[in-house]
Structure 1
Amino acid sequence: MIDFHCHLDLYPDPHAVVRECVARGVYVLSVTTTPSAWAGTAALARDAPRILTALGLHPQLVHERKGELPLFERLLPEVRYVGETGLDGGPEYKHHWQDQVAAFTRILEMSEHAGGRILSVHSRRAARPVLDTLAAHPGAGLPILHWFSGTPRELAQAVELGCWFSIGPAMLAGEKGRALAARMPRDRILTETDGPFAQLDGRAALPWDAEQAVVALAELWGESVPKVRAQIGVNLRHLAEAR
């Protein structure tokens, strides 16, 4: 099982979730929302080699935490994965748009200077500006668009740009999400949960719930569950080789 976008540190009992991930053999990209959260979140995975910790600054928090960008820069040499980063075009964050753009641009510039990183990117209601910003910084690394919800035209732009996609059961529960997933290159898809933010059956999604996305993709693609699971595994290996 692969959960390539999960906020492990934000569960009520993150240590219990980590223990269960280890017991089940789940591969996890544990994303962070602020640079100051990185050290403690990385410590959760100290004895869990299948859990990787990304360095992030969430666009919804940029206006409060932009002062942590120097810390981000100091920590960046220690990590290979950056996330969660990106832009959020929701109306509740429109007053902070310039802060978001400045921070996302700076993070991409730092990633370019560091030789490129694997990026888990938030693009809610902001697909086009996210893609335009990524296009302006081709050396920043390999972007993986988390829970992509743009238009089919924006999806085509993302594919042309070389983006990958992480998709979860919550995204695949909706008609729009399934339609977008059907258009994504199968060799650039990874599964995720976005737990504990994403909800499944009235509860927070857990990393092993990524298997539900495999089942949904099997139905969408008209393939067997083992074949889809194998494809996602191959994709993860190819991503590791791209590092």
Structure 2
Amino acid sequence: MLFIRFFFKNIIKKRRLFSIMATGESYSFIDIGANLTDPMYQGVYYGKNCHPPDLDSVLKRSYETGVEKIIVTGGSLSDCKDALQLSLNEDHLYTTVGVHPTRCGDFETEPQKHLSELLNLAKENRKKVVAIGECGLDYDRLHFCDKSTQLKYFEEQLSLAEETSLPLFLHCRNSFSDFMSILKRNRNKIRSGGVIHSFDGTEEEMREAVEFGLHVGVNGCSLKTSKNLEVVKEIPADRLLLETDAPWCEIRPSHSSHQFVKTHFPSKKKERWEEGESVKSRNEPRNIIQVLEVVAGVRGVEPASLAKQVYQNTVLLFKF
């Protein structure tokens, strides 16, 4: 009896997966931002070990869904080193080099040494490092790093873009005015453009960023509300990029965007993890197909044509 139940359980699982993958079109994706060095992919959630490392399975699933390249986000010097090592061992992976606004306190001990190490990391690994970042401003989380420190070291990091001629991978939360003031003041250092990733600002802010020459990155956190969707509708097609920001920023049933999602993958709670299964509420790169479906639905365009446009935008910006 146990064998029969196990047998039918696996047939149902396989049919479910087949129906998900077989009914959709084939797309090519580049996920411009995924935090693959996050402990969640090692099975560790908020300091608690819940299951074995499964990053290899996460990557395998993403490739099967059409993800051809993933840019692993670096948020600190140590993160960047880990992300670089990961990308050196995997042909499909690339990385950024920079310090997230909430981690800018790391600069305070030896600022110039810190900057030099970041610069060397970028210069010595040009085949894998495709952008400077994640850098910018985050006024929603000043408890991690105060405003003056963020302002100082965001501006300092723009010298890395100048010296490498790499595009910027930018973070902006509740700080758009100061954010754009710094970029405009340092326009001469920004030689290869950049992208505001995980954009959730207003239409006016989006248009100002685009006019400055930036691209706009969209993920689940960009698609929560009806106002968000109205902004996404207006992003110029040649400035639009897609991302997951995994393991964060999944598209949830409570989001306004969820109505447009057509592709659903089975998942289990982390406590019930099984090899080859997605973990519930832990985002992963293959879910970029859901971001595509939402953006296409909101804009009233075919997903296939949008996927091609976004792929071309990404290749041009990051020079793949």
- TM-score under structure 2 length normalisation: 0.69
Counterpart code for 1:12: Y
* Alignment partner, residue 212 of structure 1: 290
Distance 1:80 1:50, change over 3 A: same
SS state of the match for residue 132, structure 2? Answer: strand
| 8 A Cα contact 2:130 2:318, kept in partner | no
Structure 1 counterpart of 2:6: none
- Give the conservation status (yes or no) of the 8 Å contact 2:170–2:196: yes
**1:85 aligns to 2:127 (yes or no):** no
1:149 is aligned, of 200, 205, 208, to 200
- Which deviates more from structure 2 when the two are superposed, residues 31-40 or residues 195-204? 195-204
Is the deviation greater in 214-223 or in 146-155?
A: 146-155
Any gaps of 5 or more consecutive residues in structure 2? 1-28, 43-54, 253-279
Query: Cα offset for 1:235?
Result: 1.4
Q: In 1, distance between residues paired with 2:145 and 2:134? A: 20
Cα distance in 2, alignment partners of residues 40 and 58 from structure 1: 15
1:23 Cα offset (Å): 4.7
Where in structure 2 are the equivalents of 1:84-163 lying within 5 Å? 84-90=134-140, 92-93=142-143, 96-114=146-164, 116-138=165-187, 139-140=189-190, 141-163=192-214
| Equivalent residues of 2:102, 2:142 under 8 A apart | no
- Deviations along 1:158-202, one digit per CA (max 9) or x if unpaired, are 111011011013322321221221121111111111111223446
Closer, same or farther in 2 for the Cα pair 1:66/1:53, shift >3 Å?
Answer: farther
CA distance in 1, matches of 2:130, 2:296: 30
- 1:6 corresponds to 2:34: yes
Distance 2:115 2:318 in 1: 27
Per mean C-alpha deviation after superposition, the further-off stretch among 208-217 and 195-204 is: 195-204
Matched residue type, 1:99: T
Q: Does the CA-based 8 Å contact 2:63-2:286 persist in structure 1?
A: no
Is the aligned partner of 1:73 residue 2:119?
Answer: yes
Q: 1:203 aligns to what?
A: 281
| Structure with greater helix percent | 1
1:75 is aligned with what amino acid? L
**Superposition deviation, residue 91 in structure 1:** 5.6
Match of residue 188 from structure 1: 239
Q: CA deviation at 1:76?
A: 2.7
Moved more, 141-150 or 156-165: 141-150
2:32/2:71 contact within 8 Å kept: yes
Instruction: Summarize the Cα distance change of 1:186–1:36 in structure 2 as closer, same or farther, 3 Å threshold.
Output: same
Q: Which moved more, 1:8-17 or 1:175-184?
A: 8-17
Change (3 A) 1:120 1:240: closer
Aligned AA for 1:213?
V
Q: Distance in 2 between matches of 1:103 and 1:15?
A: 35
Compare 118-127 and 174-183 and name the one that shifted more. Answer: 174-183
**Identity of matched residues, %:** 22
Partners of 1:169 and 1:210 within 8 A in 2: no
Letter in 2 for 1:97: K
CA RMSD of the aligned region, Å? 2.2
DSSP 3-state at the match of 1:223: coil
Residue correspondences, number: 241
Partner of 1:18 in structure 2? 59
Whether the aligned pair in 1 keeps the contact of 2:134 and 2:169 (CA below 8 Å) is yes
Which has more radius of gyration? 2
* 3-state secondary structure, aligned to 1:8: coil
Alignment-derived partner of residue 36 in structure 1: 78
Matched, 1:169 2:210: no
Query: How far does residue 222 in structure 1 lie from its aligned partner after superposition?
Result: 0.9
Contact 1:112–1:137 (8 Å) recurs in 2: no
Q: Which one is further off, 120-129 or 64-73?
A: 64-73
Unaligned runs of 5+ in 1: none
